[in-house]
Amino acid sequence: MSNDHDRRRQDHGWDVLLAAGIIWVAIDVPWQLEFGAHQRAVGKVVSGLVTLLFAADFWIRWRHLFSRRGGSVTTAVPRESRWWLLVDLPGVIPLALFGGPVGWLALRLMKLPRLNQMMRQWRRRDIHNASLLRLVFFVFWMLLIAHWIACGWASLRVRVPDDDAPMHYLRALYWTITTLATVGYGDITPDTAPQMMYAIMTMLFGVGLFGYGIGNVAHMLANIDQVQAHYHSSLDRLANFLRYRKIPAGLQRRIYDYYAFLWERHLGYDEAIILSELPEPLRIEIAVAMKREFIEKVPLFRGASPMLLREIAVELRAALFTPGDYIFRAGEIGRHMYFISRGTVEVIGEDGQTIISTLSDGDFFGEIALLFQRPRTASIRAVDFCDMYSFDKESFERVLAYFPDFAAFVREEAERRQAALPS
């Protein structure tokens, strides 16, 4: 368990390093686009180090793509993740070595969604400071966008004769901040049509940002007292219990992660209790309505009759898993089959090392043990927070018995997977 804890701390350290790299790129690339490539060695060295950092990150995240025997990229990379591949890949190219046009650098900005993803994870992890972090990140993005707008404005303006590059930039930043904050002193005014258009867009953006910022802060303050107080009191009780029972630190961390996840999704109430108070027909309707979006996402259910969908919606049970959770391990007796609503899991071979496949939104697993009455053929580990639905053995068999087409599809996939298992 403590290994798990250490791993998380290392992951966190890596994320901080990566975030620093991405922030450098986000600041540096627009600067270079406007003021030309770095002349001084220090800029070149940092750029080179960032390329190495992105390459290492790419390798860590995507090594299973290369280690998977006989799998093609299309089968090894789940649909959702292909977009992330697009995010990670451009950062790996050592553009400086090719010496192409400086505009190519913009490709590196494609790594920015990773920064956003990490910030969301930090907010989720550090639930006690979630509101504060939200504000800090908001200010960060605002300053970054101001920097971009300033670089754009600097490129539209003719440089004042005595100004060097930093002074030219400072004037542009000054204009950007006064315009975004809708102060508009009017000491720097647009002269040409493109400048006017740029100024209009910046002002409109500034008004929107201002509204959003004020709204966010107000919402945050209002929220902090009521709902959070309730949440914290339940969390305090949980913390006392975990301490009293001397639950290991790593496990405690995961329990907190789980609660943080529930909290973020506004699921701080028990769905089953609410539903149990309703009459049966209404309960069925709600089950169908709640799971419709998910059911439409699963290729297996596409084209299923409304009757089958109804049956499936009623039988499916929601389950949540936190990163690193083993949903089950190879060799165990199978009691459930799972569908992924949101999140990613790894299918790990019996040796506990080989990653056979990665499954994500809309995929299913755990069918082999139920179909062929055999122990689990592989372990399944959650990579991130996973929203899932499961069938228990009886529901699974009932659905298979009533719907032969569905049964044939599941059986075919199970046989294909079994054949692909490492022997």
| Binding stretches for ligand CMP (CB under 6 A) | 334, 347, 356-357, 365-369, 376-378, 380, 417, 420-421
Estimate the crossing angle of helix 249-264 against helix 193-244, to 10 degrees.
130
In 3-state terms, what secondary structure has residue 377? coil
Q: Which C-beta is closer to ligand CMP: that of 260 or that of 371? A: 371
Residue nearest to ligand CMP (CB): 369
CB of 321 to ligand CMP, least distance (A): 15
Between 184 and 375, name the residue whose CB sits nearer to ligand CMP. 375
Please say which residue, 199 or 414, places its beta carbon nearer to ligand CMP: 414
Nearer to ligand CMP, 123 or 376 (CB): 376
CB of 67 to ligand CMP, least distance (A): 14
| Cα separation, 401 vs 410, whole angstroms | 12
* Count of residues making up the chain: 423
Cα torsion angle, 213, 385, 4, 17, sign: negative
CA angle 156/158/163 to nearest 5° reads: 125
For the CB of residue 415, give the shortest distance to ligand CMP in the complex, in Å.
Answer: 11
Q: At its nearest, how many Å lie between ligand CMP and the CB of residue 5?
A: 27
> Minimal distance in Å, beta carbon 258 to ligand CMP?
23
- Radius of gyration in angstroms for the set of CA atoms belonging to the chain, rounded to a whole number: 26
Residue among 208 and 299 whose Cβ is closer to ligand CMP? 299
Instruction: Report the residue number, 263 or 365, with the smaller CB distance to ligand CMP.
Output: 365
Total Cβ atoms within 10 A of residue 160: 9
- Shortest Å, Cβ 353 to ligand CMP: 15
Nearest approach, Cβ of residue 392 and ligand CMP (Å): 13
Written as six digits, the tokens of 100 are: 């192409």
Give the span between the Cα atoms of 145 and 180, in whole angstroms. 10
What one-letter code names the amino acid at 191? D
- DSSP one-letter code for 373: T
Q: Which is nearer to ligand CMP, 105 or 369 (CB)?
A: 369
Nearer to ligand CMP by Cβ, of 283 and 329: the residue is: 329
Taking the complex as a whole, the smallest distance from the CB of residue 316 to ligand CMP amounts, in Å, to: 16
CB of 375 to ligand CMP, least distance (A): 8
Q: Which is nearer to ligand CMP, 78 or 91 (CB)?
A: 78
Describe the strand order of the beta sheet including 386-392 as a list of residue ranges.
317-321, 386-392, 336-342, 364-365
Q: In the bound complex, what is the minimum distance in angstroms from residue 304's beta carbon to ligand CMP?
A: 19
Contact 101, 389 (CB under 8 A): no
Measured from the CB atom, the residue of 237 and 374 that comes closer to ligand CMP is: 374
Least Å distance, CB 357 to ligand CMP, is: 4
Kindly state the DSSP code that residue 326 receives in the 8-state scheme: E
Query: What is the C-alpha separation between 112 and 19, in angstroms, rounded?
Result: 9
CB closer to ligand CMP, 365 vs 406: 365
